[in-house]
Structure 1
């Protein structure tokens, strides 16, 4: 499988496969976000997901994929620190501001910084039309945040610091996107990186919220375990898909495509949860999709 996949590197077919993986990651990321909502604290749900990801991937990392090269261990240490910082900033953001306002700011900040970071780290460059597409996408995402901001009535007193943390969280998303891309390109077998990534990344949240996990009623353990298992499988496709996309194709393009998850999240909310969308939100989501299309067609 690894030899087949790496055979696509540097080819037109590889770039096409990278775009498909990035789109799949966007869809699955929207589903992943929805799974963290519901009857439990979102961080308890995330802890259950991470525990399953750790448990499922540990035997794969130890016995299935090739052992990491020595130079990979400092990279894995960086992965742990960056993703831990991201999760702390994310918690500080979501605890202070309405999800519908801060989430688009996080996702809108991330691709801009990721494109810049990919240029510095990997020498990638966007042409003028692609930068126009990025601008269209960002205007849609930030416009969605402003639209939601005008219509919320709760947590307005903590909204300014929440937006500040949202920008920092978006910058951290861009940081881990580029650093993970560096990591998955630094090893001969990409699945070695993915297996150890999920093992390492699965430790922080369960340790951070262990007291909340202990407080979950026993009657809810089975339901939480099922939700965690489903979330872990989706995470393998979402986070694994975007990292494979950054190995096969351009990091900046993959980062932009992934942020169409904002559109898919709204669509799922409308189709499955009965949430109201309205013409203005449809227009803004259309801008997000149009920006992503421009970036790809102008490449």
Structure 2
């Protein structure tokens, strides 16, 4: 499978597979975000998820995929630092704000700066039509955030700090998207990067979650939390793994933009699972997001 993936890099087949992987990542990322924001404290959820996927990835990293080349170790160190800051910011944002307000801001900030980063690092250039698509998608995403803000009932007192953390998280989404794309292209075998990335990335949040758990006066039961972590770990493998492979197979900027249709899936999850209100205006804004992604794809 590795040889086949490498053989279609930069081809039409690679472009089509990257498109599928980016949309799959969008759906799974929305599910992943809902898991972190759900019934458990976001710090505990993230710790359980990271610990599970770190343990799952370890045997593959150590015994299945080829070991990383020497130049990959500083790349892994950089990825670990970037993702750690990203997860801390995200947990603070989810702790302080409603999921349907915070999530669109995070996802709306990310693609714009990811496209700029892809231009600076990889020399990718968007056409005028694609920039129109980016503008359309961002209008839908930020429009959704504004709409949710207007009708927000809970957590209004912490909204400013939540939005600040959400914006900062979005910047780190762009940073890790371009950095991970650089990392997965720097090694001969993309699965080497994925396995070792997940093993390293699962190290820090379980420690933070354990300290937080011990400090709680009424900590939750461990069994449901660990179950959520295991489910989240599997979703994370396919979500983050899909977008990383998409950025190796094709353009980083396009993959980053298409992934942000996750906002549509997040709104649907918020409505169907978290029982958050969805009306015709929000449906129209979600359609605008999807339209923007289509314009980006067609314009390319």
SS at match of 2:158: helix
Aligned residue-pair number: 299
Against the structure 1 CA distance between its residues 209 and 282, is the aligned structure 2 distance closer, same or farther, given a 3 Å change threshold?
Answer: same
In structure 1, distance between residues paired with 2:85 and 2:45: 19
In structure 1, distance between residues paired with 2:138 and 2:219: 44
In structure 2, distance between residues paired with 1:16 and 1:296: 10
Equivalent residue number for residue 241 of structure 2: 240
Give the CA deviation at 1:219: 8.3
Give the CA deviation at 1:144: 0.5
Equivalent residue number for residue 259 of structure 2: 258
Against the structure 1 CA distance between its residues 42 and 162, is the aligned structure 2 distance closer, same or farther, given a 3 Å change threshold?
Answer: closer
Say if 2:83 and 2:176, in contact at 8 Å, map to a contact too. Answer: yes
In structure 1, distance between residues paired with 2:229 and 2:165: 27
TM-score, normalised by the number of residues in structure 1: 0.95
Equivalent residue number for residue 146 of structure 1: 146
Give the CA deviation at 1:95: 3.0
Of residues 68-77 and 271-280 in structure 1, the stretch that sits farther from structure 2 once superposed is: 271-280
Which runs of at least 4 in structure 1 moved beyond 6 Å after TM superposition?
Answer: 215-219
Give the CA deviation at 1:272: 4.2
Of residues 219-228 and 144-153 in structure 1, the stretch that sits farther from structure 2 once superposed is: 219-228
In structure 1, distance between residues paired with 2:168 and 2:37: 23
Equivalent residue number for residue 230 of structure 2: 229
In structure 2, distance between residues paired with 1:272 and 1:39: 11
Equivalent residue number for residue 192 of structure 1: 192
Question: For 1:276-296, what per-residue CA distance to the aligned partner results, in whole angstroms no more than 9, with x for missing partners?
Answer: 311100000010000000000
Of residues 239-248 and 213-222 in structure 1, the stretch that sits farther from structure 2 once superposed is: 213-222
Give the CA deviation at 1:159: 2.4
SS at match of 1:156: coil
Say if 2:100 and 2:266, in contact at 8 Å, map to a contact too. Answer: no
Against the structure 1 CA distance between its residues 153 and 81, is the aligned structure 2 distance closer, same or farther, given a 3 Å change threshold?
Answer: same
1:91-240 → structure 2 map (5 Å cutoff): 91-214=91-214, 220-240=221-241
In structure 2, distance between residues paired with 1:47 and 1:261: 22
SS at match of 1:95: helix
Against the structure 1 CA distance between its residues 276 and 219, is the aligned structure 2 distance closer, same or farther, given a 3 Å change threshold?
Answer: closer
Equivalent residue number for residue 26 of structure 1: 26
SS at match of 2:96: coil
In structure 2, distance between residues paired with 1:144 and 1:261: 13
Question: For 1:79-136, what per-residue CA distance to the aligned partner results, in whole angstroms no more than 9, with x for missing partners?
Answer: 0110111112222323333332222111100000000000000000101110000000
Against the structure 1 CA distance between its residues 230 and 94, is the aligned structure 2 distance closer, same or farther, given a 3 Å change threshold?
Answer: closer
In structure 2, distance between residues paired with 1:159 and 1:39: 20
Equivalent residue number for residue 291 of structure 2: 290
In structure 1, distance between residues paired with 2:208 and 2:273: 32
